[in-house]
Homo-oligomer: A and B are copies of this chain.
């Protein structure tokens, strides 16, 4: 089981390289991360965007674009469409957001005819590098206020990513502000439903429990002090957050307040998608690429699929 970003990088360096399509490749952070991934031998590059801007940015940052295919595009949205098309046509294996507004990027990605929809919902997973494992937080970047059905699907997407990292039976904790079911707090009601669904066998290949407050989701000692039973309390691999604000704030607090390492990837599209933020440094973006390459390699083997919740 992979437990750190160094191990992700190690794993993908021993696997076939995959082709990365960078949509609007005119962000210096993203371009640097993509070139580093190329130099590490984990990705070939397809750079979509205005050719002269990409070449100027590369020159300014002393980045060698030898071997990278540049796909000239008039503007950000066209660049995103070109990158998505490359993935659709099998000329690229994973997609990455460069310097482009998120809604333009998502428009190209989610386009009903020319996008990368599969039939699954798409959801985002943050990976937080703890001392002993990669802790997943979902969904802090795509689904705004998911209902119960969507939450269950978000869990299955994260379980798929955990499977890709070699964790065959991940522990999923459903987060709230408290660990008791409180009729005034809808997050605790969804958590109760999800926990019961798991006990009824409705989730394949994972364990689910909740509600948990964050302390008793990640700290065995806190769970003990609060007398919360079970194998999941304090030992979660995946944290399902109630909404996008909670997840986004959790991941960013780990990065910007705690100085921890965080990566992120979209699951549920026809190919892995790296959805970075301008404020991410290039190390974070490299780690996200590496996770996406690992996913792309798993998809190629065809051994893993996103599981279905039983109703």
Contacts and interface: CB of A to CB of B under 8 A. Distances in A.
A218 interface: yes
Given A184-B144, A219-B256, A249 B279 contact: no
Interface string A233-264: 00000000111111111101111111110000
B258 A254 contact: yes
A140 interface: yes
Contacts of A144: 177, 184-185
Interface string A179-204: 00000110100000000000000000
A282 to B, nearest CB: 12
Interface residues of A, number: 46
B246 A245 contact: yes
Nearest to A258: B258
A218 B278 contact: no
Contact of A214 (B184, B222, B253): B253
A6 interface: no
How many copies, total?
A: 2
Contacts of A214: 248-249, 252-253, 256-257
Interface string A205-228: 000000001111011011001100
A222 B184 contact: no
Nearest to A227: B278
Nearest to A214: B252
Contact of A177 (B140, B225, B260): B140
B248 A278 contact: no
Contacts of A153: none
Given A144-B184, A177-B248, A253 B254 contact: yes
* Most chain B beta-carbon neighbours within 10 Å: one of A144, A218, A248, A249: A249
B243 A245 contact: yes
Interface of A: 102, 128, 130, 135, 140-141, 144, 175-178, 184-185, 187, 213-216, 218-219, 221-222, 225-226, 241-250, 252-260, 277-279
